[in-house]
Amino acid sequence: MSVYINSSGHFLPGPAIGNDEIEAVLGLVNGKKSRLKHKILQSNGIKTRHYAIDKQQQTQISNSEMAAHAGRRCLDSSYLAANQVEMLSVATSQGDLVLPGFGSMVQAELDLSAVELHTSHGICSSSMMALKAAFTNIKAQESANALVIASELASRLFKHTRYEQVSGNEVDFNAEFLRWMLSDGAGALLLENQPRKTGKSLRIDWIKSFSHADVYPVCMSVGMPKASDKSWQDFATYSEAEQAGALLLRQDVRLLDNIVSVGVNGFLKLQQQGLFNVPEIDHVLCHFSSAYFKSKIVDMLDVAGVQIPEHKWYTNLYERGNTGCASIFIMLDEFLATHALTVGQTLFCMVPESGRFNCAYMHLTVVE
């Protein structure tokens, strides 16, 4: 039983926001411009991104609504009606509510009836986990199709008021770093057990992932204060957790370079297992959070004797921003809309995640 990506769609909220406009949307922390912003933006290479909040830091569209928009666009370009969807598999880093699961909220927004439901929780690679769950479900002939959606609304965490609640009003580098890295958006893919009636489909040859949580400490998190493994739920009150900085999104930048080595090592492991031949890869879609990491990945592959020419790499990071788990779906949708693929071409997708170092990989073949 083969599984095919037969349709895709994405949604980005609001207008594109340039680097000079970021603080006008997120707000100045304690009324002061950031001393780190320029340095971080220069490293990540992002020029524009989208936010679901406005300049008054008011949410204009919820995470589940963004997911539903992407899902509808995906279905609109398919041959499948909404009432024919058999499985809904969704992913996000943080839903609009702590409970219930994000999938339930998205299902309600889409008004889908009696679907099998799956919610994947994590960070960047959670979209690939949701995709793998749908892929496996169809392979097992439990469902004939599945709508897979990944959506992120990070900007709510970056309001200046969040940082101003921290005791002493001191914002450390690890807490500010991701403020200039992440943005909002949603992407969707439709999986079916047969190719499209007309046009081209992408056959999913395999999806693999390797987690390294047993080796590395937490690198990216929400819920722990600085220099502590205490949970935000262990504070006496939510306000105390906020004052301790436990509700800020943090990145331990000292650990971050490990994402390159674990990502490349996973790539080489799959190659050694004979799952693909590097010269036969036609296109590489890699979710990297920064231009800095792309160069590191390319350099490490070269050292390993694995050269992938520059023209084979595709990214929309610089125009769309880093939308976390939604990035790979948004990227794939825009890639398909802008490239004339031929039957037999292959796509290699790679999603490294720095949460506690999980890396996911996917191999696709163009069919008709």
Same fold, 4-192 and 201-216+253-367: yes
Helix, coil or strand: residue 105: helix
pLDDT at position 167, please? Answer: 80
Domain ranges of the chain: 4-192, 201-216+253-367
Per-residue pLDDT of the chain (368 residues; tens, 9 = 90+): 999 999 999 999 999 999 999 999 999 999 999 999 999 999 999 999 999 999 999 999 999 999 999 999 999 999 999 999 999 999 999 999 999 999 999 999 999 999 999 999 999 999 999 999 999 999 999 999 999 999 999 999 999 999 999 987 678 899 999 999 999 999 999 999 999 999 999 999 999 999 999 999 999 999 999 878 899 999 999 999 999 999 999 999 999 999 999 999 999 999 999 999 999 999 999 999 889 888 899 889 988 899 899 999 999 999 999 999 999 999 999 999 999 999 999 999 999 999 999 999 999 999 99
**Residue 95, both tokens:** 């839903």
CATH architecture of 4-192: 3-Layer(aba) Sandwich (3.40)
pLDDT at position 228, please? Answer: 84
E-strand ranges in the chain read 4-11, 17-18, 48-49, 87-92, 116-121, 145-152, 185-192, 201-211, 220-221, 250-251, 283-286, 313-314, 346-353, 358-367
**Residue 282, both tokens:** 């036609």
pTM over 0.85: yes
Quote the longest CA-to-CA distance of the chain: 61
CATH architecture of 201-216+253-367: 3-Layer(aba) Sandwich (3.40)
pLDDT at position 73, please? Answer: 98
